[in-house]
Amino acid sequence: MLKLKALTRLTFLGAAVAWLVMVFSDVTVLFSDLKGLTPDVPLWLPRLMLDLYVICIFYYYKFKIERDESLNFTDLLWRVFATGLVATVISLALRLLDFLLGSTRLSSNIFFHDVEYLVNLGLLLSFLVAAYTCWKRLILYQKSKWLLRGWLIFEIALVVVLLSDNFKITLEEWLFTTVTVLTGLLALVLSANMKWVAFLNFRQKWTSLLLLLLSFFYLGYFFYTVTRFSDEISLQSVAFLDFRNHSFNIYLFSFVMLYSIFSFLVILFNLPTSSVFEQKLEEVVNFQRISQSVQTEQNEESVYKILLESSVSSVFADAAWLEIKGEQENHRLQTYQITEADARKIQQHLNGRNVKGILEQSTDKTKNLSQHLSTLKGINYRSIMAFPVSVKGEKIGTLALLKELPEGFNKEMTQIVSAFANQAGISIENFRLLKEAIQNERYKEELKIAKTVQKSLLPDKLEKDPAFDISAFSESADEVGGDYYDTLRINDHQVGLIIADVSGKGTTAAFHMSQMKGIFHSLAQQALEPKDFMVRANQALKYCLERGSFISATYFVIDTQSRTIRYCRAGHCPVLFYQAHEKTAGFLTDKGVALGMVKGKDYDNYIETNSMPWQSGDVMVLFTDGITEAKNGRGDEFGLDLLKATVTELAANNPQEIQDRLIKKLYDYTGTEEIDDDYTTMIVKFH
Amino acid sequence: MVHIKRLQEDGADILAVIGEIDASSSIELDLAIAKSVGEGSKKILVDCSALEYISSAGLGVFMSYIEEFKDKNIHMVLFGMKEKVVNTFQILGLSDLLHISLTKVEAKKLLHELSV
């Protein structure tokens, strides 16, 4: 930044020095010419200094204006105007001095005139270069490859002209004309770049016109002044620095003038249409407001509000309403400049006339319903158009716009409001998706908690007894299931075992499972007969389970003294029992209704206690239906038969091995580690 | 997915359950039975011949009406179940609580006996 500032100052200084040298050398040359002497300075010096001055000024403005990104279009015009103003004020001050001097000797002195002339010329050139720099920015506002190339050629041409003035290159007449015409044409083409005008609003256009008009005045004034001085001096001598001999000056002046005239005319003729452009711009802004409402953490309500406001302002509607068909209690009507009663009156009127249109909700075709309004008494509106607001193809609301003028809406208005309504629908949809996503996230979180709870309900350690070994396994799907197993020592020769499956999934299942655990731990201690255990468990559970929920369970008491098991099955999967001495396995299918199914007192009629002796090497496999219902790729279930065969084959191993290999076989069967149900087994092997 | 067709025959509502009943489709079954009950049917036949699978939630629906039917003197008979489906009813003990027949004729007969 500092460097740029230093450069700006340096160029300014350079310009000042060049100008001073120019003044002195020119006066010297003029003096020498008048006195018929040979000047002490070379004749070409003033010209060279003028070129240097122009180049310095050019870079000065380049650094000052071209690099400043904060300037907008009117700022640029203002820069031109301000430079012109300063230049004019200085020039006028000089003129005042001239006037005050009256007819003294100094005022008629040709050298004094020459200095005055050079001051004015410097000011004019500075103004021209400032304008040139600004015009360059305006022309290159929307760059294209060809535009940049054209501009480069134009600038090179200007530099060539600037330098060629120094060396008296005498071009052939035709070549000179050709180059001039070509450059002129290029300047014309470049001057046609007026895109920036479209971005001015009405007020800015007026300002620009005024600024341009004043700039014309400055140009005219300076041109007149320097021409007058030149004429005056050239009467006495032609050895001075006549700007008219300098084709660069003429070129620059013509170009600045040309673009100013173009701009002025274009702005002038754009004035009547500027409101349209402003309106379009507003529409875009409104469009953005609707589409960005999701990011800015607004709600559906604000989308409706923006939709209503934007639509009204875009089509200059006199009144409007937006009806949102929510849930029964959520039916809303937002109005603008119309009472709800009037809106309903219009709706009823249109409905009453069986108008097929959007308001009637049976069709999606946007229709201008204006013709039907003329028959409505007491309402001033004579134009109406209505649009659906849809979310995922489902109509959630209607937007109606009203005007007092008949035939007040045109096709463009229909299009823009239709676009608004669509965008609003998309925004609403986004809101809902976002809400859903948050809800899902919450649900997942809840499931995670439920799963942790469920895991913690399963025992860390199982009862140990020298007469048998137990091994258990439970793995649940992502959705929390309700599989439960547990063991409890009743006394020194009896151990209670339970396996249960709670119907349903998720948090409720985990909750019922915890109830089951409480029941097991309190009832098993009491050394109850398995049937009594179930009757009491049913009694405890029947009012706790909600409608349609039940728990299937099997309760076992292993007696190591009598070497028997006593058990009661309440709707649970039958136990697989392997008898070692016969090397056969079978399922213990007895009658038994699940817990929670019978609410009456007669539950004991539906269940029974069974007894079974066991011998060394016998294996008992308790499981839940997740195991037998596991499906392979073809959709076939693992099934009881395969379970039986697997256990028979593995029965010689210890329970942990049987379990590991059974589970492995299960995973191999399904072919995936992803399970969609709960796998639970408890395997007991007797010694 | 489940599809439930309802028709009437000899003063009995026949609900034909087609497809699979899982946790989500069990709601449809519940609604169908509730509608039948709500309209005052005293005899309900459930045609399970096209029922491929029923989950515990579906069984829970049948279970949940047991008490209500007893109170309101409504009779329901299920028939035509595939072996796999009838197994799930049996394991849970629901076959002891519900009336299940093999064929439609038997079911009608049973329904007639029950309502006398």
* Domains of chain B with bracketed CATH: 2-115 (3.30.750.24)
Which residue in chain A has the smallest CA separation from B30?
A548
Q: Does B86 touch chain A (CB under 8 A)?
A: no
Which of chain B's residues have a Cβ under 8 Å away from the Cβ of A550? 56, 59-60, 63, 92
**Residue A232 CB neighbour total at 10 angstroms:** 14
Grouping H, G, I as helix, E, B as strand and the rest as coil, residue A544 is coil
Q: Residue A544's CB: how many other CB atoms inside 10 A?
A: 14
What b/e string do you get for A205-217 counting C-beta neighbours within 10 Å, with b at 16 or more?
A: bebbbebbebbee
What pLDDT, on a 0 to 100 scale, did the predictor assign at position A361?
42
| Separation of alpha carbons A669 and A632, rounded Å | 6
Q: Is A599 on the interface with B (CB under 8 A)?
A: yes
Q: Do A593 and B66 touch (CB under 8 A)?
A: no
Which run of H or of E encompasses A386? Answer: strand A383-391
pLDDT of residue A43: 78
List b or e across A521-530, with b for residues whose CB sees 16 or more CB atoms inside 10 angstroms.
eebbeeebeb
| pLDDT in the model for residue A555 | 95
Mind telling me how many Å the CA of B108 is from chain A's nearest CA? 25
Contacts of B26 in chain A (CB under 8 A): 548
Query: Parallel, antiparallel, or unpaired for β B2-9 and B12-21?
Result: antiparallel
Q: Is A333 helix (H, G, I), strand (E, B) or coil?
A: strand
Who among A503, A606, A607 is closest to B56 (CB)?
A503
Distance CA A387, CA A421 (A): 7
Six-digit token string for A341: 């009663």
- The answer to whether the beta carbons of residues B78 and B15 sit under 8 Å apart is no
C-alpha distance from residue A192 to each of A140, A178, A594 (Å): 11, 21, 90
Q: How close B65 comes to chain A (CA, Å)?
A: 8
Q: CA-nearest residue of chain A to B94? A: A593
Is the Cβ pair B67, A503 closer than 8 Å? no
Nearest to B52 by CA among B82, B90, B26: B82
CB contact under 8 A, B57 and A547: no
pLDDT of residue A292: 76
Chain A residue at shortest CA distance from B26: A548
CB contact under 8 A, A593 and B64: no
Residue of chain B with shortest Cα separation from A549: B60
The Cα A550–Cα A595 span in angstroms is 6
Task: Give the nearest partner residue to B57 out of A503, A593, A600, using CB atoms.
Answer: A503
**What is the average pLDDT value for chain B, to the nearest integer?**
90
> What is the rounded distance in angstroms from the CA atom of residue B11 to the CA atom of residue A166?
119
Q: Does B60 touch chain A (CB under 8 A)?
A: yes
Question: A250: how many CB neighbours lie within 10 A of its CB?
Answer: 14
CB contact under 8 A, A593 and B97: yes
Q: What is the pLDDT of residue A360?
A: 43
Q: Which two tokens stand for residue B92?
A: 């849970």
Answer yes or no: are the C-beta atoms of A275 and A408 closer than 8 Å.
no
C-alpha span between A393 and A428 (Å, rounded): 12
DSSP A448: H
In chain A, which residue's Cα lies nearest the Cα of B65? Answer: A548
Cα(A602)–Cα(A580) distance, rounded to whole angstroms? 38
- Contact assignment for B91 to A550 by CB distance below 8 Å: no
Structure tokens at A240: 């001075």
Amino acid residing at A193: N
Could you say which DSSP state residue A408 is in? -
In whole angstroms, what is the distance from residue A545 CA to residue A515 CA? 10
**Which pLDDT score is estimated for A369?**
65
Among A549, A594, A599, whose Cβ lies nearest the Cβ of B67?
A599
Residue B30 forms contact with A (CB below 8 Å): yes
Which two tokens mark A23?
Answer: 């003044």
Alpha-carbon span A450 to A443, nearest angstrom: 10
Q: How many CB pairs under 8 A join A and B?
A: 60
Helix (H, G, I), strand (E, B) or coil at B33: helix
Query: The tokens of A94 are what?
Result: 């000089």
pLDDT of residue A389: 85
Tokens representing residue A61 in the block: 């403005």
User: What are the tokens at A464?
Assistant: 């140990």
Domains (ranges, CATH) in chain A? 2-272 (no CATH), 297-440 (3.30.450.40), 454-686 (3.60.40.10)
| Structure tokens given for A39 | 């000047």
Q: Tell me, what DSSP letter sits at residue A349?
A: H
Residues of B in contact with A606 (CB under 8 A): 93, 96-97
SS3 assignment, position A461:
coil
| Predicted local confidence at residue A482, as pLDDT | 82
Residue ranges of chain A with per-residue pLDDT less than 50? 360-366
Q: Does A480 touch chain B (CB under 8 A)?
A: no
- Judge whether A412 and A450 are in contact, CB under 8 Å: no
A556 half-sphere exposure, CB direction, 13 A CA radius:
28
Whole-angstrom CA distances from A162 to A26, A117, A222, A253 are: 18, 20, 20, 13
pTM of the model: 0.57
Reading across the β-sheet that carries B43-54, which strands appear in turn?
B2-9, B12-21, B43-54, B75-79, B99-101
A571 vs B67: CB contact, 8 Å cut-off? no
Return the pLDDT at A258. 92
Check residue B75 and give its pLDDT.
92
Subunit contact A550:B92, Cβ cutoff 8 A: yes
- For every residue of A262-292, DSSP letters joined together read HHHHHHHHHGGGHHHHHHHHHHHHHHHHHHH
Strand partners, A395: A390
Long-range contacts (CB closer than 8 Å, 24 or more residues apart) made by A283-290: A283/A310, A283/A314, A283/A416, A286/A310, A286/A313, A286/A314, A286/A420, A287/A419, A287/A420, A287/A423, A290/A420, A290/A423, A290/A424, A290/A427
Measured between beta carbons, the chain A residues lying within 8 angstroms of B96 are 591, 593, 606
Q: Does A592 touch chain B (CB under 8 A)?
A: yes
Torsion from C-alpha of A449, A452, A457, A462, nearest 10 degrees? 180
Contacts of A504 in chain B (CB under 8 A): 23, 56-57, 60
Which of A504, A570, A572 lies nearest to residue B57, judging by beta carbons?
A504
Instruction: Report strand pairing: A575-579 vs B2-9.
Output: unpaired
DSSP-assigned beta bridge partners for residue A473: A681
What φ, ψ does residue A473 adopt, rounded to 5°? -145, 135
Which is nearest to A427 in space by CA: A281, A298, A282, A283? A298
Q: Which helix (H) or strand (E) segment is A413 a member of? A: helix A411-457
B87 vs A: CB within 8 A:
no
The first and second tokens of residue A516, run together, are: 């089951």
Is A574 in Cβ contact with B93 (below 8 Å)?
no
Alpha carbon of residue A387 to chain centroid: 25
Distance CA A383, CA A388 (A): 17
